[in-house]
């Protein structure tokens, strides 16, 4: 067995694998001898078939199979021992030209070589958002809580701020939807004027265009499909069945204990502080995901290297169940190029900075996740035996292991970027973050 590597350029090479008779002949003879013992050929007793007949019937197929086994094993060993970093898989180059009547064979394979490059995470500055809960948000949250835990007072006539229960109907769109909404949800001035002063039992005709600030509310309150909700412009009838004024709950110890447990919050200031802490904890997750996405985009854009594009297009064309045309393979490469570039960048970062996830890390991560979930249901101190049992069960599930590994991989990468990337922090409210980050 002899293997020769010829570099075409820095990204392409050709491997020539020379297979001689001595590399495969013993395996071929062994298989044919087994066939001789077990094959069923009419006119011959089992095990008494002449070897010449066995070779005539099975010889070529066995030869091809055993040579390919030797060939694939030699390829794998060579690539591993030489530590060749290749993209895709080796592509046969002269497969159609092999003369299987010879004793010795020479196989050629094209290789796409991974590019050499450096990753500079401290290069271009990336914006990191710190989302804060401002006074307006905190006041609105307190107001929402007071409404949620307040009392409903039944009324006969609609006034501003009341909650109305009724049924929307429309024969045109086949709407018949019972709902409860506050007059505060009505954005249209004419629609609000039609509702104010209406009484229980009245039926009010309303135009849907501009009735709500967000067209998605047409889906929520009228029951229309998502696609119909956008730009809905019809008349609907609204039969008023119930009117209630919501008397807001007092900010007292009874409410605080109901919300957070006995004695944990004892004033409006502490309530706002708790709301702020919880809200900003949730905001941090969105900010972190945005940061991770932005650093990734920056690395892809600013880490320059070439790829063996023609080789990869040929590999894409041949690697699927159905061979693709040259045009389709090129289009598929263009769709996947960005992802491939990031795979190479991420792989280099993980290898150079030891960011790979170990089993012990995955096990600890699983335990912490389980503890957090159990704490939500009041199980604050599970036993070690219980934790080990649940963790073992989770880690025996392949899909769960993949999901948790992906989460932990992202967390490790995010922490690495926070510690090493060139970041500029910007403090911003949640509403402004949504507008600015996802405009």
Question: DSSP letter at 423?
Answer: E
Q: Provide the pLDDT for residue 41.
A: 74
Residue 37 pLDDT grade (very low, low, confident, very high; cuts 50, 70, 90):
confident
Q: Provide the pLDDT for residue 104.
A: 94
Q: Provide the pLDDT for residue 90.
A: 95
Q: Provide the pLDDT for residue 277.
A: 94
Tens of pLDDT along 175-225?
A: 999 999 999 999 999 999 999 999 999 999 999 999 999 999 999 999 999
Domain 2-113 is in which class?
alpha beta
Tens of pLDDT along 275-320?
A: 999 999 999 999 999 999 999 999 999 999 999 999 999 999 998 8
Q: Provide the pLDDT for residue 72.
A: 95
- Looking at the DSSP bridge assignments, the partners of residue 112 are 12, 87
What does residue 132 show for φ and ψ, rounded to 5 degrees?
Answer: -115, 150
Of 97, 240, 217, which is closest to residue 168 (Cα–Cα)?
240
Tens of pLDDT along 384-416?
A: 898 999 999 999 999 999 999 999 999 999 999
Q: What is the dihedral of CA 47, 65, 4, 313, to 10 degrees?
A: 180
Residue 45 pLDDT grade (very low, low, confident, very high; cuts 50, 70, 90):
confident
Higher pLDDT, 432 or 50: 432
Q: Provide the pLDDT for residue 344.
A: 97
Q: What is the mean pLDDT of the chain?
A: 93
Q: Provide the pLDDT for residue 53.
A: 84
Q: Provide the pLDDT for residue 97.
A: 85
Alpha carbon distance 439, 328 (integer Å): 33
Asked whether residue 43 carries a pLDDT value surpassing 80, the answer given is no
CA 299 to chain centre: 19
Please give the helix or strand (H or E) that residue 17 lies within, else none.
Answer: strand 12-19
2-113 and 151-247 have identical folds = no
The tally of CA atoms less than 13 A away on the side-chain side of residue 190 is 8
Of 230, 236, 227, 228, which is closest to residue 177 (Cα–Cα)?
236
Tens of pLDDT along 425-439?
A: 999 999 999 998 886
Alpha carbon distance 246, 256 (integer Å): 19
CB 179 within 8 A of CB 165: yes
Q: Domain ranges in the chain?
A: 2-113, 151-247, 262-305+354-437
What number does CATH give the domain 151-247?
3.10.50.30
Question: DSSP letter at 102?
Answer: S
CB 3 within 8 A of CB 17: yes
CA 372 to chain centre: 22
Residue 167 pLDDT grade (very low, low, confident, very high; cuts 50, 70, 90):
very high
Asked whether residue 357 carries a pLDDT value surpassing 80, the answer given is yes
Of 140, 157, 164, which is closest to residue 248 (Cα–Cα)?
140
Tens of pLDDT along 333-349?
A: 999 999 999 999 999 99
């Amino acid at each position: 067995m002899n293997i020769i590597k010829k570099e075409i350029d820095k990204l392409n090479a050709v491997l020539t694998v020379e297979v001689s008779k001595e590399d495969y002949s013993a395996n071929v003879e062994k298989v044919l001898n087994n066939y001789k013992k077990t094959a069923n050929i009419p006119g011959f007793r089992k095990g008494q078939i002449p070897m010449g007949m066995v070779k005539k019937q099975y010889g070529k197929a066995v030869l091809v199979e055993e040579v390919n086994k030797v060939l694939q094993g030699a390829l794998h060993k060579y690539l591993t021992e030489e530590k060749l970093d290749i993209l895709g898989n080796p592509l046969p180059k002269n497969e159609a030209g092999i003369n299987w009547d010879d004793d010795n064979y020479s196989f050629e394979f094209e290789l796409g070589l991974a590019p050499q490059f450096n990753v500079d995470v401290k290069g271009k500055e990336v914006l990191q958002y710190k989302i804060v809960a401002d006074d307006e948000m905190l006041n609105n949250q307190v107001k929402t809580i007071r409404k949620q835990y307040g009392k409903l007072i039944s009324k006969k006539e609609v006034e501003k701020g009341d909650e109305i229960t009724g049924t929307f109907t429309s024969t045109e769109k086949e709407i018949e939807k019972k709902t409860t909404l506050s007059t505060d949800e009505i954005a249209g001035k004419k629609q609000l004027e039609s509702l104010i002063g209406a009484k229980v039992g009245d039926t009010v005709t309303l135009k849907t265009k501009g009735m709500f600030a967000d067209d998605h509310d047409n889906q929520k309150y009228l029951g229309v499909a998502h696609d119909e909700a956008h730009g809905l412009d019809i008349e609907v009838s609204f039969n008023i069945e119930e009117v209630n004024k919501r008397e807001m709950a007092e900010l007292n110890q009874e409410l605080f204990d109901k919300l957070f447990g006995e004695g944990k919050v004892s004033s409006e200031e502490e309530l706002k502080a708790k709301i702020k802490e919880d809200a900003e904890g949730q905001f941090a997750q969105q900010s972190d995901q945005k940061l991770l996405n932005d650093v990734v985009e920056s690395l892809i854009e600013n880490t320059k290297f070439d790829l063996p594009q023609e080789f990869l297009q040929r590999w894409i064309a041949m690697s699927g169940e159905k061979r693709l045309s040259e045009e389709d393979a090129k289009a598929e490469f263009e769709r996947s190029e960005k992802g491939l570039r990031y795979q190479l960048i991420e792989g280099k970062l993980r290898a150079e900075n030891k960011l790979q996830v170990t089993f012990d890390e995955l096990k600890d991560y699983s335990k912490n996740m389980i503890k957090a979930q159990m704490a939500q249901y009041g199980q604050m101190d599970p036993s070690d035996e219980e934790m080990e049992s649940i963790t073992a069960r989770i880690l025996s599930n392949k899909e769960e292991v993949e999901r948790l590994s992906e989460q932990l991989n992202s967390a490790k990468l995010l922490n690495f970027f926070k510690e090493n990337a060139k970041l500029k922090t910007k403090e911003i409210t949640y509403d402004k973050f949504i507008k600015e980050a996802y405009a």
